[in-house]
Structure 1
């Protein structure tokens, strides 16, 4: 499996992912990692309905995802890991699967969140998860669409 991107976007499967990121990386599979969505049949069905036919969608809990990625179960497949926050990525790291970088897109504003970019707001829990990942050596970038410049926000997050 070639993990081409580890992306955080709280909208998950939506226009930018389907219209820009899937073609950009010529993705064959998107792996959504989320401990809640994996048990929500309606949400899983809606996400699968929104994914283009030529790109498979898998939805895993953090433990199963870490195991699959460690074992390279989809060797030779072009994959994007997609999460709605950094928390699942941290949990995967705690299960033994480390990622080298994260690309952050949209994270919506909500109570207690701090704006770190135009479309990106992080809660205290997300900030803590980012800091723990950064302490493990993970680089964090913000990039909404492939044509946008990739902005390294690693030190910005560490110092919030």
Structure 2
């Protein structure tokens, strides 16, 4: 399995992911990691509907995702891990699967959120999750909306 990117975008499967990121990385499988969506049949159906034919979609809880990625269940397949917030990535790390880096595309504004990039608004809880990923697990954090845009490292924003 080749994890081509670990991406946070609160829109999950949408135009930029389908139109830019999937072709850019030649993604064969999208793995959405989310403990809420995994139990929401309506959302799972909508996400499957939006998935392009060239890619398969899997939706896992963080615990199951960590287990599958540790066991390299998709060996030889180009996988994009997609989350709508940092918590599932942190939960994967706590379950033994630590990623090297995260790319943030879009995190919409919400109550008590602080804007750290043009399209990235981070709540106090999300900031704490990023801080734990950076400071405990050594994860690097980047911001990039589309492949043609420069990738900017923002890890320092989450160091204590």
Coordinate RMSD, CA, aligned: 0.6
User: Are 1:107 and 2:94 matched, yes or no?
Assistant: no
Tell me the residue number matched to 1:62: 62
How do residues 35-114 of structure 1 correspond to structure 2 at under 5 angstroms?
35-114=35-114
Cα deviation digits, residues 122-147 of structure 1 (max 9, x gap): 11110000000001110000000001
Equivalent-residue separation in structure 2 for 1:148 and 1:131 (angstroms): 25
Tell me the residue number matched to 2:156: 155
Tell me the residue number matched to 2:143: 142
Tell me the residue number matched to 1:15: 15
5+ residue gaps, structure 2, are: none
* 1:156 CA displacement: 1.7
Equivalent-residue separation in structure 1 for 2:125 and 2:2 (angstroms): 29
User: Are 1:127 and 2:127 matched, yes or no?
Assistant: yes
5+ residue gaps, structure 1, are: none
